[in-house]
Amino acid sequence: MSEDQNLLERRQAALGPGAPLFYDRPLHIVRGEGCWVWDAEGRRFLDAYNNVPHVGHCHPHVTEALCRQASLLNIHTRYLHEGIVDYAERLTATFPDGLERVMFCCTGTEANELALRIARAVSGHQGVLVSDFSYHGNSGGLAALTTGLPTPEPFAPFGRAVPVPNPFRWQAAGDAADLVAHHLALVDEAIASLDAAGYGVAAVLFDSIFSTEGLPNVPADYIRGVAERVRRAGGLYIADEVQPGFGRMGDALWGFEAADMVPDIVTLGKPMGNGHPIAAVVTRPELADAFARDALYFNTFAGNPVSAAVGRAVLDVIAGERLMERAADTGRHLQEGLGKLATADPRLGDVRGRGLFAAIEMVDRRGEPDAATARAVVNTMRDRGVLISRIGPDDNVLKIRPPLTFGQVEADLLVATLAEALAGTRASA
């Protein structure tokens, strides 16, 4: 631990005390494989948190594609290259008809920036709806549209953060009004207020699984209602698939598909390159062309031959190892296990999620969010060798989002460790 302490101090001097680290006792990871990571002392941890290594840490097929192309050519995209075109075709083929144009970026931040630029250029409006406590990126523009993370920027005058329906909290509050109607009325108000302020509505930007918001089970009716209202106001629906995308939902490759609604723009990020910085905007040709009439968009690194090779390899593995189906199976098994725990332990107020992305709302005796217990559980599980995290407006929602190679054996280990952590936390309370 003294070596780690030394490293921590060097880190704080070079990167600053503000550079975030997970856990009360930071983890010093040196190696990863599948859904396992090892710390500097050789101790193994089950990774039930990380979506960057989407198809498993250091997947050999992806690493090989990376190394092969990096040895051959690593350049920007202002030359013709088969790799980027192949990848673009394969990627767009996974989307509903119409969404057949891709613009590559390097990060989810860049993709969401580009999506908003397109929406504004096409609509001629400035206003943006986001959900309350969402987060879509680290640029100045996106920082001004988050209520989910501390930022020095005031919330944008052209932004409106609408609370999305959370059936669990709604029931807990005993509200008798119609959940969807109530929340759609808030959207109507937000649109009217953007119109009144002269901004109009350029877009709604929603994470398809509402990750930062704590994975509330947002009804599909609500999503369709929002899309309809925003379009009626002349705006576009942007689906942020940085967290739900690439098969994690189990039932579909893209999170938006569950709402039976086709977005105007889709943004992709993190899991796309299994750790390699690649992201994209997928949209309809007429929207991309309208934007391109007035804009020269160029992104040096984006979609270069190496990124494209990595992206293709990730698609290979998702299909070849049937990871979407695996996410569905493991996810179902995990939900069952977590559900059983919840039946026995009232502190697990709600178990929810889709595919291989689960959330557990921790509550106190009065049913109120319990961040302290959630924090204790996350840290105890880390000490017991299983990595998860927590999210949500009240920081009380356990977040379980492992690499898609996670199987039933690993799910059982996670559930057993959670049970132990809960038992330990109870004893110490």
How far is C-alpha 425 from the geometric centre of its chain's CA atoms?
29
For residue 273, the minimal CB distance to a copy of itself (Å) is: 8
Three-state SS for 106-135 is: CCHHHHHHHHHHHHHHHHCCCEEEEECCCC
Q: Does residue number 2 form part of the binding site for a copy of itself (CB under 8 A)? A: no
> Residues 34, 54, 120, 400: which binds a copy of itself (CB under 8 A)?
120
**What whole-number distance in Å separates Cα of residue 6 and Cα of residue 111?**
37
Handedness of CA 405, 409, 413, 414 (dihedral sign): positive
Name the 3-class secondary structure at 359. Answer: strand
Stretch that binds a copy of itself, among 73-81, 157-165, 252-260, 409-417 (CB under 8 A): 73-81
Distances (CA, A) of 420 to 20, 136, 310, 378, 411: 27, 35, 39, 12, 14
For residue 424, the minimal CB distance to a copy of itself (Å) is: 23
Pick the closest to residue 339 from 328, 327, 330, 348 (CA basis).
348
Distances (CA, A) of 379 to 5, 23, 79, 408, 420: 18, 6, 49, 23, 12
Which residues, 76 to 105, sit near a copy of itself by CB under 8 A? 76-82, 84-85, 88-89, 92, 100-104
Q: Does residue number 121 form part of the binding site for a copy of itself (CB under 8 A)? A: yes
Q: Does residue number 4 form part of the binding site for a copy of itself (CB under 8 A)? A: yes
Stretch that binds a copy of itself, among 63-71, 190-198, 312-320, 394-402 (CB under 8 A): 63-71
Which residues, 286 to 345, sit near a copy of itself by CB under 8 A? 288-289, 291-292, 294-301, 303-304, 306-307
Side chain identity, residue 212: T
> Residues 46, 55, 95, 109: which binds a copy of itself (CB under 8 A)?
109
For residue 415, the minimal CB distance to a copy of itself (Å) is: 24
**Which residue, 122 or 362, has its beta carbon nearer to a copy of itself?**
122
Token readout for 5 is 């302490």
For residue 152, the minimal CB distance to a copy of itself (Å) is: 4
The number of residues that bind a copy of itself (CB under 8 A) is: 99
Which residues, 213 to 272, sit near a copy of itself by CB under 8 A? 269-270
> Residues 1, 2, 19, 42: which binds a copy of itself (CB under 8 A)?
19
- Helices 305-320 and 323-344 cross at an angle (nearest 10°) of 70
DSSP state of 333: H
Q: Does residue number 400 form part of the binding site for a copy of itself (CB under 8 A)? A: no
Q: Does residue number 181 form part of the binding site for a copy of itself (CB under 8 A)? A: no
